[in-house]
């Protein structure tokens, strides 16, 4: 703590000279003393070349954005902070649904369909900058990974239609992955969670080679197949005893019936030495949302063998974004049972109250200290304090030129209705890495 205090004082003193890449500021908040804000710098060599229909929006290509997961790696010889980070499936944006026969299928527009999902290392020089220093794609034995959705009928398929920037249907890919969290195993490998399957990947850190891929029915409980599309595993943590914890982003949607009614989000525990798994229930903030399905987990980091910090976020019933930090405690939580022959997602509030679920203690909402990004998707601990990173979706957003909601129109035979056009624009949202100086140790938030 003394070392952190000394470094923070130096950082605050230098903030005025640091330029746009860095800003330090004291915070008038009961839990937070100060914030260091770093605009993540990604060298041009990591940019994604793009010469498509919207190239004028991205004259330097698309910036690499490894803001989907964050883990502390250690310090270099100069004392600079090093992090593991991962990007997701690549530059994609929402698009209108595609009508095929009598079905209306969810779709995404992929600006760079050849993109290979990749992870990165970030170096943070206190008081100066945070920069991507290394980027490496994921590689399966059969070939490179892709960010495109998986073929229909395969394990992990979401049923999405992938579209080009001209609305042409793109082929699905058998090695599609959507990485959303990353953590080292302490032995030269990384555990990476994937939103498609959901999948849990063991990856060789030096090469990006996928050594193991666990999926529902293949090393993971089959019930996980009911994850919502794009709401698979979002967070991953490793405890000192070596266990791996992977958390779904949102509620399961069992048989299309529990998306908005389930009061829990599942946390998977894996013992990698035996393969044994169990699932625990995290009680989401049901009263905060219009629908329970609006709740999303951002990331998860272990404090010890039983306690973690996580981000719960989403648009509240007041239509305001919330990005709330919690300390959770799994001691005493029991594996989720079936109730009257049904999964716990069907449980009433009264039934849930009778289960031994994960305990939680609210810390604060990041919005209270100036966080403006929609997605706080990377979270880790540095010297007993917190570091966070946002996912800026590769700096792009898709919208209709008419201003209508994307859900209000359909794509039929590769075309939008007459007079409609899809636009993809560069956004002003940066990837930012924050360091938070707390006024109390994290142990002050342990659930009682």
pLDDT band at 5 (very low <50, low <70, confident <90, very high): very low
Q: What is the pLDDT of residue 313?
A: 97
- What is the tens place of the pLDDT at every residue in 335-387? 999 999 999 999 999 999 999 999 999 999 999 999 999 999 999 999 999 99
Asked if residue 12 has pLDDT above 60, the reply is no
Asked if residue 237 has pLDDT above 90, the reply is yes
Asked if residue 9 has pLDDT above 70, the reply is no
Q: What is the pLDDT of residue 101?
A: 86
Q: What is the pLDDT of residue 266?
A: 98
- What is the tens place of the pLDDT at every residue in 108-138? 999 999 999 999 999 999 999 999 999 999 9
Average pLDDT, the chain: 94
The residue-averaged pLDDT of 8-18 equals 41
Separation CA 395–CA 425 (nearest Å): 8
Asked if residue 20 has pLDDT above 90, the reply is no
Q: What is the pLDDT of residue 261?
A: 96
Q: What is the pLDDT of residue 179?
A: 98
pLDDT band at 70 (very low <50, low <70, confident <90, very high): very high
- What is the tens place of the pLDDT at every residue in 85-98? 999 999 999 999 99
Q: Are strands 103-110 and 161-163 parallel, antiparallel or unpaired?
A: parallel
Q: What is the pLDDT of residue 67?
A: 95
**Residue 352 phi, psi (nearest 5):** -60, -35
The residue-averaged pLDDT of 250-273 equals 97
Q: What is the pLDDT of residue 7?
A: 46
pLDDT band at 294 (very low <50, low <70, confident <90, very high): very high
Asked if residue 3 has pLDDT above 60, the reply is no
The residue-averaged pLDDT of 411-433 equals 92
Asked if residue 10 has pLDDT above 80, the reply is no
Closest CA to 297 of 279, 307, 285: 285
The residue-averaged pLDDT of 39-62 equals 94
The rounded percent of the chain whose pLDDT value lies above 90 is 92
Asked if residue 227 has pLDDT above 70, the reply is yes
pLDDT band at 221 (very low <50, low <70, confident <90, very high): very high
Asked if residue 334 has pLDDT above 70, the reply is yes
pLDDT band at 54 (very low <50, low <70, confident <90, very high): very high
Q: What is the pLDDT of residue 377?
A: 97
Q: What is the pLDDT of residue 18?
A: 38
Q: What is the pLDDT of residue 271?
A: 98
The rounded percent of the chain whose pLDDT value lies above 70 is 96
Separation CA 121–CA 85 (nearest Å): 6
pLDDT band at 428 (very low <50, low <70, confident <90, very high): confident
pLDDT band at 1 (very low <50, low <70, confident <90, very high): very low
């Amino acid at each position: 703590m003394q070392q952190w205090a000394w470094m923070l004082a130096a950082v605050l003193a230098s903030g005025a000279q640091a330029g746009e890449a860095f800003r330090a500021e004291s915070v008038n908040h009961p839990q937070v003393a100060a914030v260091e804000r770093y605009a993540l710098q990604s060298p041009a060599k990591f940019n994604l070349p793009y010469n498509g229909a919207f190239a004028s929006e991205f004259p330097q290509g698309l910036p690499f954005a490894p803001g989907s997961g964050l883990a502390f790696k250690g310090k270099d010889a100069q004392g600079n902070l090093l992090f593991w980070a991962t990007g997701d499936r690549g530059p994609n944006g929402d698009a209108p649904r595609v009508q095929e026969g009598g079905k209306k299928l969810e779709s995404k527009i992929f600006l760079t369909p050849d993109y290979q999902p990749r992870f990165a290392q970030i170096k943070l020089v206190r008081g100066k900058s945070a920069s991507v220093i290394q980027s490496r794609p994921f590689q399966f034995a059969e070939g490179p990974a892709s960010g495109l959705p998986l073929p229909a009928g395969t394990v992990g398929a979401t049923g999405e239609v992938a579209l080009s920037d001209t609305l042409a249907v793109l082929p699905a890919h058998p090695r599609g992955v959507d990485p959303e969290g990353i953590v080292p195993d302490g032995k030269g490998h990384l555990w990476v969670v994937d939103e498609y399957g959901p999948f849990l990947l063991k990856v060789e850190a030096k090469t990006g080679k996928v050594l193991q891929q666990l999926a529902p029915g293949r090393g993971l409980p089959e019930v996980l197949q009911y994850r919502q599309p794009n709401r698979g595993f979002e967070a991953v943590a490793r405890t000192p005893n070596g266990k791996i914890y992977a958390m779904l982003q949102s509620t399961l949607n069992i048989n299309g019936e529990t998306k908005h009614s389930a009061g829990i989000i599942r946390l998977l525990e894996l013992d990698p030495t035996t393969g044994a798994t169990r699932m625990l229930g995290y009680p989401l903030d049901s009263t905060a949302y219009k629908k329970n399905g609006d709740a999303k987990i951002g990331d998860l980091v272990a404090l010890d063998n039983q306690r973690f910090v996580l981000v719960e976020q989403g648009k509240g019933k007041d239509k305001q974004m919330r990005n709330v930090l919690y300390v959770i405690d799994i001691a005493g939580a029991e594996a989720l049972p079936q109730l009257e022959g049904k999964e716990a997602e069907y449980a009433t509030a009264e039934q849930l109250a009778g289960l031994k679920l994960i305990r939680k203690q609210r810390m604060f909402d990041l919005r209270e200290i100036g966080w403006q990004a929609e997605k706080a998707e990377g979270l880790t601990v540095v010297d007993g304090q917190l570091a966070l990173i946002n996912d800026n979706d590769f700096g792009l957003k898709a919208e209709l030129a008419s201003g209508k909601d994307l859900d209000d129109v359909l794509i039929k035979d590769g075309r939008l209705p007459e007079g409609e056009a899809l636009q993809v624009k560069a956004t002003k949202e940066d990837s930012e890495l924050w360091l938070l100086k707390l006024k109390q140790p994290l142990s002050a938030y342990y659930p009682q």
